[in-house]
Amino acid sequence: MNIEIKAIEYYLPLRTEDGKTLTGDNPDWRIAEIEQKTGILTRHVAAIDQTATDIAALAAEKLFVSGIEKEEIDFLILITQSPDYVLLTSACILQDTLGLKKSCIAFDINLGCSGFVYGLAIGGALCESGFGKNGLVICSETYSKYIDKSDRVCRPLFSDAAAATLLGSATSDNLGPFELGTDGSGFSDLIVRSSGARNANKNSEERRLFMDGAKVFMFTMDAVPQCVMNLLKKSQKTIDDIDLFVFHQANKMVIYNIIDKLKIPKKIFLNSHRVGNTVSASIPIALKDALQQGCLKKGDQIMLIGFGVGYSWGGCLIRWGDM
């Protein structure tokens, strides 16, 4: 696609949690072992009255402060699994909050860790098909609202965050190909039960995030390497042709195992130790950090791979522009 990422900004809630916080609530946790395994040292937690739409607006406003005109935004894609309401679409609230024009297309995508790649595919298709020249792909998650304080599996991992990406038409082929896939047989391994219509009448105590870490890990070790190899085959490239791999920042153990299985040289970017697993926002946040740390330059060939809840996965190649 003749599409490029023109800008990325992100917002992290002010409240943070570290190992000391977790130990204070759960004195029996072996926090040093948990941190050694996950590599995650700090996570961000949204305020009680702060929703995914609220932090999405804060991330987007950073783009507008940098000089991007709201009138130029033709579509708004909000990727979130923690919407303000079951019904209505949170993107409609966000369109009004940001003061975008009424001709702006706005809709939600209910996807987690693969969501950013799907957002690029759909946003790119909107641009290519003439529905608009510029659009926002905003990933915003407040998983903390679903997590019990005593949950040893989920609490040390997941972090709240929002990332706003400006996507627009370009004069060269910068985006793609894509590799997308789904295995819904694993839907119950990462889920918030009693959160929708199927179990709406059940006890609210069941409205907590549940993750079978072992099964999710096994899915990842099977699906992600295959996704990478399929993407290389589609693009007629090899691992050596890729300048930087940016995986969904699940945790250190997951990414290191992917690297070992694929025998990828040390051209990956990691920032989960600082921000945690921010679900759909993890890849755009990593891209922004990689740029600021001098790990990206114009013309670099980057592979993005998202994977997780669903089960769902998505990968794509990006030729990095002059953002």
pLDDT digits (tens, 9 = 90+) for 295-317: 999 999 999 999 999 999 999 99
Q: What is each CA distance from 208 to 44, 158, 221, in whole angstroms? A: 18, 13, 26
- Judgement on whether residues 114 and 194 belong to the same structural domain of the protein: no
Question: Does residue 27 sit in the same domain as residue 163?
Answer: yes
Residue 157 has pLDDT above 80, yes or no: yes
Residue 184 pLDDT = 95
* Average pLDDT of the segment spanning 99-107: 97
| Catalytic residue selected from 248, 251, 271, 295 | 248
Whether 143 and 201 map to the same domain: the answer is no
* Residue 168 neighbours by CB under 8 Å, 6+ apart: 3, 4, 6, 127, 133, 134, 135
pLDDT band at 28 (very low <50, low <70, confident <90, very high): very high
pLDDT of residue 208: 86
Q: Rounded to an integer, what distance in angstroms lies between the CA atom of residue 280 and that of residue 112?
A: 5
Whether the bond between 311 and the residue before it is cis, its omega within 30 degrees of 0, is yes
Query: Are residues 288 and 8 in contact, defined by beta-carbon separation less than 8 angstroms?
Result: yes
Cβ atoms 177, 235 nearer than 8 A: yes
248 annotated active-site: yes
Mean per-residue pLDDT, 279-299: 95
CATH, residue 202: 3.40.47.10
Catalytic residue among 113, 127, 295, 316: 113
Residue 138 reports pLDDT greater than 70? yes
Q: Give percent of the chain above pLDDT 90.
A: 85
Helix or strand (DSSP H, E) at 133: none
| Residues 202-225, mean pLDDT to the nearest whole number | 85
Are 121 and 133 in the same domain? yes
Output the pTM of the full model.
Answer: 0.94
Say whether pLDDT at 254 is over 90.
yes
Which of the following is catalytic: 134, 271, 277, 316? Answer: 277
Question: Of 121, 152, 172, at which residue does a domain stop?
Answer: 172
202 pLDDT more than 70: no
Q: How far apart are CA 127 and CA 119, in angstroms?
A: 12
Same domain membership, residue 204 and residue 130: no
Q: What is the pLDDT of residues 45-93, one digit of tens each?
A: 999 999 999 999 999 999 999 888 999 999 999 999 999 998 999 999 9
Claim to verify: residue 132 and residue 114 sit in the same structural domain = yes
Query: Do 110 and 244 fall within a single domain?
Result: no
Does residue 278 register a pLDDT over 80? yes
Give dist(CA 204, CA 9) in Å, integer: 35
pLDDT of residue 104: 97
Q: Are residues 125 and 13 in the same domain?
A: yes
User: To the nearest whole number, what is the mean pLDDT of the chain?
Assistant: 93
Q: Which of 142, 172, 202 is the last residue of a domain?
A: 172
| Helix ranges (DSSP H) in the chain | 19-25, 31-38, 52-65, 90-98, 115-128, 213-235, 252-262, 272-275, 282-292
Q: Are residues 188 and 248 in the same domain?
A: yes
C-alpha–C-alpha distance, residues 88 and 212, integer Å: 30
Least confident of 105-109, 117-121, 130-134, 170-174: 170-174
State the pairing for strand pair 244-247/301-308: parallel
Q: Based on the domain organization, do 193 and 130 belong to the same domain? A: no
Q: Mark whether 199 is an active-site residue.
A: no
- Band the pLDDT of 196: cuts 50, 70, 90: confident
b/e 277-294 (16+ beta carbons within 10 angstroms → b) = bbbbbbbbbbbbbbbeee
166 SS3 class: strand
Contact call for residues 91 and 106 (beta carbons, < 8 A): yes
How many folded domains does the chain comprise? 2
Sheet (strand 244-247) strand order:
175-182, 312-319, 301-308, 244-247
Instruction: Give the integer Cα–Cα distance in Å for 147 and 141.
Output: 13
The whole-number average pLDDT for the span 98-121 is 97
Strand partners of residue 165: 8, 137
What's the rounded mean pLDDT across residues 136-146?
Answer: 96
Q: What confidence score (pLDDT) does residue 205 get?
A: 59
- Pair (203, 55) in one structural domain: no
Q: Is 113 among the residues known to form the active site? A: yes
- Domain boundary residue among 172, 200, 233? 172
On whether both 217 and 292 belong to a single domain, the answer is yes
Judged against a pLDDT cut of 80, whether residue 194 lies above it is answered with no
The parent domain of residue 267 ranges over 176-319
* 203 residue type, one letter: N
